[in-house]
Structure 1
C-alpha cells in the first residue's frame, strides 16, 4: 500500500513520551488523513472505526467508506465496526441535551476503543476527535484517560488541530467525502435547521 505523507511534516509531541503501539479511534476520513503520519511515528499503529453516533444510515455508510479509503491510502491497518448504531446511541443519549449527550457519545466511542486496544495488545489509545476545532479537548482528554486507565492503558493526548487543514486539503484533492455535521441526528438538525438547504417547492420538481 502507498504511504501517505505531507510535506513539510510537523509533529507536536516529545519522543520521550511516545507509546510503542497505539490504536486510534477514527471519526472520519479527513481527520485520519490529518493525523496518520503523527501516529505512525509511535511504532505499531492501527485505526478503529466505531461510531454509533453517525446517522442516518446513508451518512454512516459514506463516512465508513471514506475511512476505508483513507486507511488504505495511508497503509494503515483498519478495524472497522460496520454496525449501524442508531438504536444503541438513542438508548444511551436520548434523555439528554448537550453537553450531557455529547459526553455520553464520547464515552461510548472511547470505551470501545480502549476495550479493543486492550484485547489486541496495544499500549495506548488516542482519537482523531483531537483534530477537531469543534470538540471540547479537555472533555475528550478526561474521558480518554478514564477509559484507558480502566483497561490498564495510556491515553495519548495531543493537540492535532494544527494538522486538520492538511487532512481536509488532501481529502478535497482526492475527492474524499467530507461531512457537514458532527454525526448524530441531533447535530444534523442543529446544522441544517437554520438553513434552507434542500428545500424545494413541489413545482420545482415538476410536480403539480
Structure 2
C-alpha cells in the first residue's frame, strides 16, 4: 500500500455493534476506513433512527468518519424484494452493496467492504457474492474478510459501551420471523 489513497476504504455499516470488530481489524491492517450507513431494509422507521443514532454515537467515540445516506429509501427496498420474499436477503444485500460500491467510486475510495460479514446470523456466502458482483459492476475492489471471528468480542464491547443492540436484521420479514420463532419456543 504505497499511496495514501490506496488505504482509503468505504465500509458499509448495518449498525454500531457490528462495526466494532471490522473497524478495529481494518485499522490494524493499515486501512483508513470510512463508514457508510445505507440500510433501507430497516423497519420500522423508529428502529432505523435508533440504529443510526447508535452508530453516530459509536463513530464519535472512535473519531471515525461516517457517511449517512440522506434518505430512508424504504420504498426502494420493497421494490427489490416484493414477490421475492423467499430470496429477499440476496436482493437486500445486492441493493446495499451496489449502492456502497457506487458511493465508493464517487468518493475515490480504493475499496469497499461491509459489516454484514461480522454476524454469524447473516447469510455470509450471499453477502460475499453480492460484494464481489458489485465490485465487478463498478470497477472497484471488494475487501472480503470473514469478520465473524470477532463477533463475540464486538458483542461484549457493545455492551460495555452501552450501544443499542437490535434483535433482528432489520427487515419487517426478519422481525416477523423472530416473533414466530419465539412463539414456537425456537432459538435462532
Which residue in 1 is equivalent to 2:159?
A: 172
Which residue in 1 is equivalent to 2:168?
A: 181
Which residue in 1 is equivalent to 2:110?
A: 123
- Structure 1 SS opposite 2:112: strand
- Alignment of structure 1 residues 100-111 onto 2, 5 Å: 100-111=87-98
1:82 deviation in Å?
4.5
8 Å contact kept, 2:117–2:148: yes
Distance 1:155 1:85 in 2: 24
RMSD: 1.5
- Structure 2 SS opposite 1:192: helix
Which residue in 1 is equivalent to 2:42?
A: 54
- Structure 2 SS opposite 1:22: strand
Distance 1:115 1:72 in 2: 25
Q: Which deviates further from its counterpart, 78-87 or 25-34? A: 78-87
8 Å contact kept, 2:40–2:74: yes
Distance 1:53 1:93 in 2: 10
Aligned length: 178
TM-score normalised over the length of structure 1: 0.81
TM-score normalised over the length of structure 2: 0.89
Distance 2:50 2:21 in 1: 18
Distance 2:23 2:61 in 1: 10
Distance 2:72 2:180 in 1: 24
8 Å contact kept, 1:64–1:82: no
- Structure 1 SS opposite 2:182: coil
Contiguous gaps of at least 5 residues in structure 1: 1-14, 197-208
8 Å contact kept, 2:21–2:150: yes
Distance 1:123 1:84 in 2: 26
Per-residue deviation, residues 85-111 of structure 1 (Å, max 9, x unmatched): 22221121121122x211100011000
Distance 1:194 1:145 in 2: 32
- Alignment of structure 1 residues 50-199 onto 2, 5 Å: 50-98=38-86, 100-195=87-182
- Structure 1 SS opposite 2:170: coil
